[in-house]
Amino acid sequence: MAYCNRSKRLNSLFLLQWETLCPRWCLITSHKLYSSVYDPNEKTFEKILIANRGEIACRVIKTCKKMGIKTVAIHSDVDANAVHVKMADESVCVGPAPTSKSYLNMDAIMEVIRKTRAQAVHPGYGFLSENKEFAKRLASEGVTFIGPDTHAIQAMGDKIESKLLAKNAKVNTIPGFDGVVKDADEAVTIAREIGYPVMIKASAGGGGKGMRIAWDDEETREGFRFSSQEAASSFGDDRLLIEKFIDNPRHIEIQVLADKHGNALWLNERECSIQRRNQKVVEEAPSTFLDPETRRAMGEQAVALAKAVKYSSAGTVEFLVDSSKNFYFLEMNTRLQVEHPVTECITGLDLVQEMIRVAKGYPLRHKQADIPINGWAVECRVYAEDPYKSFGLPSIGKLSQYQEPLHLPSVRVDSGIQQGSDISIYYDPMISKLITYGSNRAEALIRMEEALDNYVIRGVAHNISLLREVIIHPRFVQGDISTKFLPEVYPDGFKGHKLTDLERRELLATAASLYMAEQLRSQRFLGTPRIPIAKSKRSSWELSVRLGDGIYPVAVSKDGSSFSVEVDGMKLNVTSEWNLASPLLSVTIDGTQRTIQRISRNASGETSIQFLGTVYKLQILTKVAAELSKYMPEKAAEDTSSILRSPMPGTVVAVSVKPGDMVSEGQEICVIEAMKMQNSMIAAKTGKVKAVHCKAGDTVGEGDLLVELE
C-alpha cells in the first residue's frame, strides 16, 4: 500500500486546487443547502476515514472540514489523482482498480485504519456501506462505524428478513415469496404462484443492481440468471427473492434519522419515480402526489420500522405508491442515499453532520414538529452515458473540458471529478448530482433547465439532453409520473429534443450567425483587417444550412453586433457578444435568450451545437460551396445486420456461440458487463456464425467487433 500524508507535505501544493473546489459546496442565495450550525464545544472525532470514492467521499469530507475533523481518503491506483484524494488530509492506496481488490478490500482498508489511527469510518453509499462484516470488524478494533449497528444492517440489508420485520412492525408490504429462491426452476414455480408480472431482486442488493421484471416463464429464467450474477458481482451475495410487481407505481421514499437514545424522526419524502433500469435519474422533494395525511402515515410507518430494529443513523425507507395512494414497503437502505441533497435543501439539515453526531452518541437536536418543508428541490443525476442507447449506456473517456453551472443562483453540484478526470469502466458512470432549489416547484424546475443549459461536459457522452427533456415534459411538469415514465413517454427510445418550426428557425439562424461571426473574425488580426487596403464593405451573405434531412437557404446580413437572418421567408434578429472562445454562448433571438454550446466544427462546414439541451449536427456552406458539394460522393453505410459490435465499453462476461453455430434472430450471443450492469447482446438476424472476436474476460471498447455472421 502506498501511503501519503497530505496534511503536511501537500497542503500548499493543493491550496489553489482546494480554492477552486470550495464553491461547489457554497450556500445558495437566500437559502442554505444545509445547516451550517456547528458547536465547536461538541466533541466528536479527531479523524475519520472515508471508505468510498467520488462525489460522496467529497461530500463527507466537506462536512468533516466544517466540523474540524481530519480526514483519510482511500483510493485505487487509477484514482490516485481523484478529487477526493486531493481534498483529504491523508490518502492511502488500497489496491488496483477492480472494486474487489480496492474499495471492497476489507483487509487493506483495516490496515489503513490502523496505520492512520482513524477513530471512525464513514462508508458513504454502495461498496461496504451496508456490509455487516465490515461493521463487525470495525467494532472489534474499537473503531466507530458511522451508520447503524450490525443488527440493523443485517435485518434491513437482507430483503427477506426486512420484509418479515416490516410486517411485524405493521408496515404495508408487497405480496410475494418470503424465502430464498434456490434456482431458476423454483423461480418459475414461485412466479406462477404469485402471478405475473413479478420482480426478481437481490436479497442483499440496492441501487437497481440485481433486479429484473419478468412477465412470463422465459423472462423469469433469464432474470434469475442475470440478477444472481449481478448480485454476486455487486454485493458478493447471489441470493434472490421474488415478489409481485406493482405495475405503474410511484417510487417515494422517506428519510429517517434516529439516535442511540430511542429518538427517531422522519424528514419528509423524496419522489424518485423517474428511473431507467430500476435506477433513479431525477429526484425531488417534496412529492407532488402526497397529501399531508399520506405523508404522515408513510413517515410514521418508516419510523416504526426504524424503531423496531433499534436503528441509529440516517436511513431511508422506500415505498411503492399506487394511483390510489396505497403504499407498500420496498426496502430500507441503511446508509446515506445518493439523493439526500434534496432533503437537506428543504429541511436545512446537514445529514452527514447528523450521522457523525449520532455515531458519537449525541441525541438528536430536533423534534418531529421542528422538521419543515421549506421550498422545493430537484436533483438530476448527470451520468457519463449515451441516452440514445437504452436511455443510457456507459461512456468512458477523459473530461477534456468541464465547467459546473455554479455561477447561477440556487444551484448545488455534488461531484467528485474535475477537468482532466477520467471516467473509467471500473466504477459507476455518475459525473455529478445537479441540484436546484426554489421557493416552489416551478421555480426549482426553471433553475434546473437553466443549469442544464449552462453545464459544460466535453470528452464523454452524457445524459444532459435526456434530463432536460424530462423536466420540461408536460407530464412531468404536471406531476403525472410513475416508474414507467421513460418507456411510456419514449416508447421507441429517446431521440433528443423534437424541434418545433420556430425552434428549428432559431437554431438555423443561430448557427448561421455563429458561422458568419467566426468568418468575419478570421479576416481580422489584432483587431485590424489583415489587408487594410482591401477592406470589404460586404454586409450580406447567402448560405446553405443542412440540418437532419433538410437543406435550408439562409440569408444573413450584419448590423453592428447583431445579425438579421432570413429563414423560411421569416426574418430573425440574432444578438450576442460572440465570444467564440467561451464554451457557453448567450444568444438573444428576437428577444428570447438562449444559452448554447458549440461542441465541434471542422473545415468542411460541419458543426455540432447544443441547443435546448440536445446536440444537433449541421453543415453550413456558402451558396456556391453547397452547389459544388452535390458532386461529392457519399460514403456507403455499413451493413450491420451481419456483425455485432459492442454498444458500450465493458468486460465480456460470457460468449454463447462459436464459429459454425447457427443462431436465430434475437438469440443471445454474448454478455457485456459495464459499470456492474450486465447486458445481453443478441443476433440481429438468423444465420451461421462466421467468426468470434472476443472471449470471456476480454475488455472491449464501444464499437469493437464482437461476432460476425455469414
Q: Which residues are catalytic?
A: 331
State whether residue 167 is helix, strand or coil. helix
What whole-number distance in Å separates Cα of residue 35 and Cα of residue 347?
Answer: 9
CA 519 to chain centre: 39
As given in the structure block, the three cell numbers for residue 112 are 489503513
Structure-block grid coordinates of residue 397: 473517456
Q: Which of 527, 520, 592 is nearest to 559 (CA)?
A: 520
d(CA 442, CA 374) in angstroms, rounded, equals 14
The answer to whether the Cα torsion of 388, 389, 392, 396 is positive or negative is: negative
- Taking the alpha carbons at both ends of the chain, their separation in whole angstroms is 50
Q: What angle do CA 322, 209, 244 make, to 5 degrees?
A: 35
HEC letters along 11-70: CCCCHHHHHHHHHHHCCCCCCCCCCCCCCCCCCCCCEEEECCCHHHHHHHHHHHHHCCCE
Question: What distance separates the 2 farthest-apart alpha carbons in the chain?
Answer: 91
Side chain identity at residue 285, one-letter code: A
Residues 152, 158, 160, 163, CA torsion sign:
positive
Sheet containing 144-145: order of strands? 3-4, 90-95, 70-76, 47-50, 120-122, 144-145
Distances (CA, A) of 230 to 79, 99, 197, 220, 425: 24, 14, 21, 15, 16
CA gap 214, 218 in Å, rounded: 8
10 Å CB burial of residue 393 (0-12, 13-18, 19+) is: buried
Cα 568 from chain centroid? 40
The answer to whether 235 and 209 are in contact (CB under 8 A) is: yes
| One-letter identity of residue 243 | E
CA distance 396 to 407: 27
Pair 176, 242: CB distance under 8 Å: yes
Cα(361)–Cα(355) distance, rounded to whole angstroms?
10
Q: Which residues of 265-292 are buried (b: 16+ CB within 10 A; e: fewer)?
A: bbbbbbbbbbbbbbbbbbbbbbbebbee
- Three cell numbers at 608? 455540432
